[in-house]
Structure 1
């Protein structure tokens, strides 16, 4: 079906059009894929348009090949004005020019971009509007898709091996990742992997890997584990008294956190994941499995918490509750925890299933200052609050809430705390700060 040129003269909220055209600059005939996306929210006034070349080798990646991925790029654009239209150009034909290097012939697309620019950008007839070209940057050098599958709750998901850039060019860094299609630029889980054999091959598809779970590499997981340190003295006493520490994890994903708590810190862990297919992925690709110290359940984490609070007794209470639940909506971005978790009744349930010396640790991605303030306000049902902001990205904040008062950090020298220091960067332990229940930092 042909597209009339006038189609692109105006902005229509959430309109998404894709088409292909010949790449006249290529050494042989092949097509360029063009995608044009208009913002779901269009303000009155001057419209802003930007274009982007899809990075070579990433053409099939969800963020560059789906509506939700393009919408994420449009909404997160660094341009001075909110984008009204984003134009993506994809050239999948690549030609080898040596080990781990590629090039493609890129034509001059300026006339095309101008033709796809809204008519209102040409109101000043004295100048041709300048359309900026955005650059997508991440650490991925190459990727290999292992499987795509679909779960009844989270939808389509992708499991991939990726190679990351490394400052030391002699050392290659590899990760296994789980991503959900609903938020294609958000990595749900990643674990370090290493080649099984000595290799010469440069292609990921031809390499065999094994999991390396000695270290948590997902940015916010180490800070979450660091949050346990506020009760390390109490945990040490329980261990010395012969008790097995117990943790509840709401949200499993690939299971990196659950596996770490069990294997490295000797916790008995209960994990709750809303989607059974996600659990199967965790078992098949990320080494998670049921055994005497790991118990996995399929269900809604908030309901599981509520049911547990009704019947829990002293012997069944947990030392730690870890919350890694998010609410993903491509039109608003990602935030965590979901608003359903921030209800007072839910937080009281979390408090009820903790031992008197227990701790609640929450991964948060605040959608706004008011969102974060509301969470801190609702957490007043707990005795003390802490936060770790220095996560290594600009999104996550780890919030820690204790059921009872804790001892001073300066006096911690117990065995459990020293064990934590083997696995958690000292920067995360040192950056933990106590906050008031209104969110003000306490010095």
Structure 2
């Protein structure tokens, strides 16, 4: 972002906070104004530099002007707990926009390419949130400030969300809520007990594809079940450190252990313990760390891309392979920066694992990538049917085997994905 100017206007006996954002490099010479939804002036989306940069980038204009009723504020002024509800006084908003028109023209006409503009159009921010209450703010040295909030969406759906200040427009974690009416005066500190988490619904679009990938190791999982041994799954990156245990219904149990520690170091330590050649006691200790799947869903909060670099390097990939059972799989949520970065990641994974598979998420932003320690030798039809019934059979039939990513060249990523993969049918004829 090239420029970020903060002003305050006195307009008809009311204060208007003004933030002028200029693109770097300059976009096409267009401008727009945006009236911040009343009550959301301190939301990181509108008040933080990171949020404003995302708004400017998504607007596609050279200059974006944010207008806040009540004057300027900053996210640092936000109380420990706060709440807002959408003000639907559209007539008042339209009247204010007309009144501000001449002021906006005067503000932009000294900018390059905007000297002859006759009107500054208004853009509208829409995220279908009509009510929000912040439950907790927390800090992590890895990701910075983050918050947990309950929201009500248009249509009445209730959600609990985790957002990072560094990427406030990106919802890191989201789960449905059941029971209780969140806006009937319930004590905010009691909200976790007033509403329960609905664990039966996967909200994020990429979660079902990650589950679908378990069909690739269905024979391995079926063997575990037949032997009476539970399959071992290591999930790296549940989000927010200890917050999921307090706010998202993650309850440790005999078959579910939670470790708040560095994910890269954890996998490295498991890999090293498996390579040790100790006595009986040591072997028993190592046997506890045989994982049939490692799921990596990690963001460092500084970029929309994932996983972070340290999870995409050869050293981590080799450690993950060593930590897996012979029939095991590494599953990874991938949001690439573009063709080159994605092809590079697939290449590094392919150099470590025997086979690599991929499933594109319906949103088009994410990929679920699956790396097998040993080649696929077929699947368990009964277990694969169960997975298909759970997440949808179309996902199983759209898993691709990655084969030609090294030689695909610099083709347009959005038109030539077929050069990166060959489609396979997980169950021949089962879902055709």
Match of 1:442 in 2: 422
Q: Given that residues 39 and 86 in structure 2 are in contact (C-alpha distance below 8 angstroms), is that contact kept between their aligned partners in structure 1?
A: no
Once the two structures are superposed, what CA deviation does each residue of 1:301-356 show, in whole Å capped at 9, x if it has no partner? Answer: 12222222111267222100001112443xxx410111222222221111111111
Q: Given that residues 38 and 86 in structure 2 are in contact (C-alpha distance below 8 angstroms), is that contact kept between their aligned partners in structure 1?
A: no
In the alignment, does 2:299 pair up with 1:326? Answer: yes
The separation in 2 between residues aligned to 1:119 and 1:394, in whole angstroms, is 39
The count of corresponding residues between Structure 1 and Structure 2 is 377
Pick the aligned partner of 2:152 from 163, 168, 192: 163
Give 3-state SS (helix, strand or coil) of 1:224's partner. helix
Q: Given that residues 191 and 211 in structure 1 are in contact (C-alpha distance below 8 angstroms), is that contact kept between their aligned partners in structure 2?
A: yes
Q: Given that residues 143 and 301 in structure 2 are in contact (C-alpha distance below 8 angstroms), is that contact kept between their aligned partners in structure 1?
A: no
Match of 2:40 in 1: 58
Pick the aligned partner of 2:215 from 217, 229, 246: 229
Match of 1:86 in 2: 64
The separation in 1 between residues aligned to 2:346 and 2:183, in whole angstroms, is 52
Match of 1:116 in 2: 107
| CA 1:209–1:113: 2 relative to 1, 3 Å | same
Q: CA RMSD in A?
A: 2.8
In the alignment, does 2:359 pair up with 1:388? Answer: yes
Aligned counterparts, 1:129-208, within 5 A: 129-166=118-155, 172-196=156-180, 201=184, 208=194
- The normalised TM-score by structure 1 is 0.77
Task: Show structure 1 runs of 4+ deviating over 4 A.
Answer: 199-207
TM-fit CA distance, 1:203: 9.4
TM-fit CA distance, 1:432: 1.7
| CA 1:405–1:60: 2 relative to 1, 3 Å | same
- The normalised TM-score by structure 2 is 0.79
| CA 1:178–1:358: 2 relative to 1, 3 Å | same
Unaligned 5+ segments in structure 1 are 1-12, 94-98, 167-171, 254-277
Pick the aligned partner of 1:361 from 310, 331, 334: 331
Give 3-state SS (helix, strand or coil) of 1:158's partner. strand
Match of 2:57 in 1: 75
Give 3-state SS (helix, strand or coil) of 1:119's partner. coil
The separation in 1 between residues aligned to 2:242 and 2:109, in whole angstroms, is 47
TM-fit CA distance, 1:437: 5.1
| CA 1:376–1:189: 2 relative to 1, 3 Å | same
Give 3-state SS (helix, strand or coil) of 2:217's partner. helix
Q: Given that residues 57 and 92 in structure 1 are in contact (C-alpha distance below 8 angstroms), is that contact kept between their aligned partners in structure 2?
A: no
Once the two structures are superposed, what CA deviation does each residue of 1:36-55 show, in whole Å capped at 9, x if it has no partner? Answer: 2233x235x96443222223
Unaligned 5+ segments in structure 2 are 72-84, 276-285, 406-418, 424-432
The separation in 1 between residues aligned to 2:67 and 2:107, in whole angstroms, is 12
Aligned counterparts, 1:234-245, within 5 A: 234-245=220-231
The separation in 2 between residues aligned to 1:92 and 1:431, in whole angstroms, is 51
TM-fit CA distance, 1:227: 1.2
Once the two structures are superposed, what CA deviation does each residue of 1:89-130 show, in whole Å capped at 9, x if it has no partner? Answer: 12369xxxxx98621623122222223226244676xx4355
Give 3-state SS (helix, strand or coil) of 1:304's partner. helix
Once the two structures are superposed, what CA deviation does each residue of 1:30-75 show, in whole Å capped at 9, x if it has no partner? Answer: 4222212233x235x9644322222344333210121111011112
| CA 1:375–1:362: 2 relative to 1, 3 Å | same
| CA 1:204–1:65: 2 relative to 1, 3 Å | farther
Once the two structures are superposed, what CA deviation does each residue of 1:136-189 show, in whole Å capped at 9, x if it has no partner? Answer: 2223232221122222322111111111234xxxxx311100111110011111
In the alignment, does 2:354 pair up with 1:370? Answer: no
TM-fit CA distance, 1:16: 2.4
The separation in 2 between residues aligned to 1:60 and 1:384, in whole angstroms, is 48
The separation in 1 between residues aligned to 2:366 and 2:66, in whole angstroms, is 29
In the alignment, does 2:397 pair up with 1:430? Answer: yes
